[in-house]
Copies of this chain bind each other. A is one copy, B any other.
Amino acid sequence: MKQPAIMKELNALFNPRSVAVVGATDNRGKWGFSTFRSVNTSFQGDIYPVNQRAKTVFDRQAFARVTDIPGPVDLAVIVVPHDAVLPVMKDCVQKGAKAAVIISAGFQETGEKGRKLQDQVLAEARKGGLRFVGPNCMGTWSASCNLNAFMAPMPVMDGPLAFVTQGGNVGGSILRSANEKGVGFREYVSCGAAADIQIEDYIEYFGNDPSVRVILAYIEGLTDGRRFVEKVSAITKNKPVIAMKSGTTLAGSRAAMSHSGALAGSDAAYDAAFEAAGVIRAQTIGEFLDTAIGFLTQPLPAGDNVAILTGGGSYGVLCADACEASGLNVVELPEHVIEELNQHLPDRWSHGNPVDPAGDRDFGYYLQIPELLLPIEYVDTLLFMGFGGFSQLGPDFIASGFTVGPMDQAPPTEEEFMNMVDKILADIIISWLKKYNKPVLTTTFGEMSMHLEHGIYHYASPERAAMVLANLARYRKYLDKIGVTSKPDYDPFRICLL
């Protein structure tokens, strides 16, 4: 299959062999300091600091101009005052650089004069076939060459996500949260004003990078909605794209205008565009990242029918509320399953969905109940409440006589329990995922901060789990609508972290 042109055009951006940082400096008070530090502590290829006055920067030989650099320059990271960007771009083109990241701000977001300057920079880049990120961005990350070109330190690691963000700080928030949760990025772009490369171009690139499994986009405003739908719908046939669109209120759209210079536009128009393109829309930072992790770690549900297994009645009530509010169905259970449960659970069990053993202490049996619920043909998903982060409950739990597994076995020591329990539970959950190919979403025992571990991610709350599940179901419906069906032996959308 022929690769789209964008893969070649952005190759120097994501796979450069050499990087020049224009504006690199030893002056700690400048962005050129922190930007150069990012590149200098990550990238293993050739690095050239460019500074008009300094002989060295970070003890590396510095060059007054890009054109003074002896070797070839694939990528230029530009962090100089806005009025110096045009001559730097001219040098980059003359040098034969193929890509640039313009961190400098002071262009379209400041008004007519800035917009004009931006157009001149763009015209210059076009002359040399140079593609650029920004201006007014916070930099880029590419795991393939371990290049961190962020203007400020933001934690990032390699992983199956890719992300283009029109907001550097929202992007940084997602990076920090993702890092805390233990999930990484193959590529990350703070696209800023997106004068040259458009959001849909990045999505097209990510879509064609086989190491990317799920794509994220934070959008304040698109330049060409039609082009976005066209480009992105070609990607969503194969890979989920999750978008967060801000500026949905008057106050927010005003703020967006002064921030990225983007026209926030009608929210309904964006909803329609996302729907046409098969893009899943998230409303908050938390939902955004949790949905991405949902796509990474779960198969897609065949439908909206949910069975709930809960370690506590009230937690089941919240979960049932959250499911119904998210458009999912908390289905009735077949009579034979009820009867089977009657055999093993105390009389006071809930006798329905959610299944609540109502204080039965036999966790060994509790862990067998999913094998009754998942085989029910019309049950599409199991929500398994409250057993994530078991070990976070602390040694008190095992000291209080609880165990996982048959009650007649000797209880583990505290240390064994703490070391093993999350792994044991993860292994059981993964065995269900493999056996039934249906989503099994789990939650913590209560809004605890969780990270991906042993291939399993536990959602912080029932609402979050239900919302993520509804997003997975939405994508499944889109695929059904456009006629994409996954084969039983290989599903491009299924679990990738196991």
Contact = CB atoms under 8 A, between A and B. Distances in A.
Interface of A: 27-31, 33-34, 37-38, 105-106, 109-110, 136, 151-153, 155, 165-177, 180, 218, 220, 246-252, 254-256, 258-260, 284-286, 289, 310-318, 320-321, 323-325, 330, 346-348, 350-352, 354, 356, 358-359, 361, 386, 392-394, 396-397, 399-402, 407, 411, 445-449, 460-461, 463
A348 B109 contact: yes
B249 A320 contact: yes
A310 B174 CA distance: 16
A166 B397 contact: no
Given A27-B401, A34-B400, A247-B321, 8 more contacts: A30-B401, A153-B394, A167-B318, A169-B314, A249-B325, A258-B350, A259-B350, A259-B356
A314 B350 contact: no
Contact of A255 (B166, B346, B350): B350
How many monomers of this chain does the complex have?
A: 2
| Most interface-central of A176, A311, A393, A407 (chain B CB within 10 A) | A176
A177 B259 contact: no
Nearest to A249: B324
Given A172-B312, A323-B251, A361-B29, A284 B461 contact: yes
Nearest to A106: B348
Contacts of A392: 176
A152 B348 contact: no
A168 B446 contact: no
B173 A28 contact: no
B30 A361 contact: yes
A453 B407 CA distance: 41
